[in-house]
Amino acid sequence: MSIELYHNVSQSLSKKLTKSYSTSFSLGIRMIDKELRWAIYSIYGMVRIADEIVDTFHDQDKAALLEEFKNETYKAINNKLSINPFLHSFQEAARKFNIGPELIDPFFESMAMDLDLKLYDADGYQEYIYGSAEVVGLMCLKVFCESSEAEYQQLKPAAKSLGAAFQKVNFLRDIKSDFEERGRTYFPSINFHHFDEAAKKSIVDDIRNDFNDAYKGICQLPITCRFGVYTAYRYYVKLLERIEKEPVNTIKTARLRVPDSEKIGLLISSYLRFKTGAINHI
């Protein structure tokens, strides 16, 4: 029996994990070229498991599990094989698209920060955003640009901005659960108990700046992935708009989302803009 079956099963499991944890991210992946989807699912699978170790394995030695998972990640890449199907799938993507320690190490460093650090100052916040979100955007960009290093370097700033924007929207949406369930406050100088409209506006304005910088790069992405990334971008912009309209007390007591009916509308309108060339230019 060929090992190709194991490759395929591993990739299928990464895809299933992604769909189970994030319907919105999965929607964007479905809009990129079929030949690239498996790699994005594989990246998401690896980072999601690391995140789960930190956030949900409460009765375990999280630090030891995270360190073991990091070591197994590199072992998988070096051996070109792992008995962990999610890491096996990731190592294929990492080797094919040259995803190396310069991106993997900062990711695991940010995950480790969540094990102990609960309140972030400005420097810690920026370090965490880079490792937990920006490098994940860069991993995906490696896939999108395939073998073009010049294209990767050109689009790198925009990819970092988009990853940061996505993460900050998640922080704002999940501010209640992060504080009450995990004791974390990611935004520097923000006290959850005194979180007000002025603080919310400052955060929203910062995220909008990230989105504006990211959009310039989206317009220059290869055609194989532009529509998918744009769809995810539109979803998160819509989620930010929803958060912006709601009073602070609602954000502090409920987890907001974009209804499925609006997601379908976003997909249709994004497709029309893509087909008419509206997102092919800045």
pLDDT digits 0-9 by tens, 204-224? 999 999 999 999 999 999 999
Residue 159: closest CA among 188, 138, 185, 186: 138
pLDDT digits 0-9 by tens, 254-269? 888 888 888 888 888 8
Residue 231 φ then ψ, to 5°? -60, -45
Query: Which residue is it, tokens 């087909």?
Result: 275
Instruction: From first to last of the 282 residues of the chain, give the pLDDT tens digit.
Output: 679 999 999 999 999 999 999 887 888 899 999 999 999 999 999 999 999 999 999 899 999 999 999 999 999 999 999 999 999 999 999 999 999 999 999 999 999 999 987 788 899 999 999 999 999 999 999 999 998 999 999 999 999 999 999 999 999 999 988 888 888 888 987 877 888 999 999 999 999 999 999 999 999 999 999 999 999 999 999 999 999 999 999 998 888 888 888 888 888 888 888 888 777 654
Per-residue DSSP letter, 83: S
| DSSP count for the chain of H helices, then E strands | 14, 0
Q: Find the Cα–Cα–Cα–Cα dihedral 261, 263, 266, 271, rounded to 10°.
A: -110
124 to each of 74, 85, 129, 271, how far by Cα in Å? Answer: 26, 33, 9, 38
Contact between residue 196 and residue 248 where contact means Cβ atoms under 8 Å apart: yes
DSSP states of 189-203 as a string?
T--GGG--HHHHHHH
Contact between residue 224 and residue 36 where contact means Cβ atoms under 8 Å apart: yes
Q: How far apart are the first and last CA of the chain?
A: 50
Full set of structural domains in the chain with CATH: 4-275 (1.10.600.10)
171 Cβ neighbours under 8 A, 6+ residues apart? 178, 186, 187
Q: What's the pLDDT score for residue 282?
A: 44
pTM above 0.75? yes
CA–CA separation, 142 and 100 (whole Å): 10
Q: How many CB atoms lie within 10 A of CB 125?
A: 19
Structure tokens belonging to residue 61: 């030695």
Per-residue DSSP letter, 150: H
Structure tokens belonging to residue 19: 């769909």
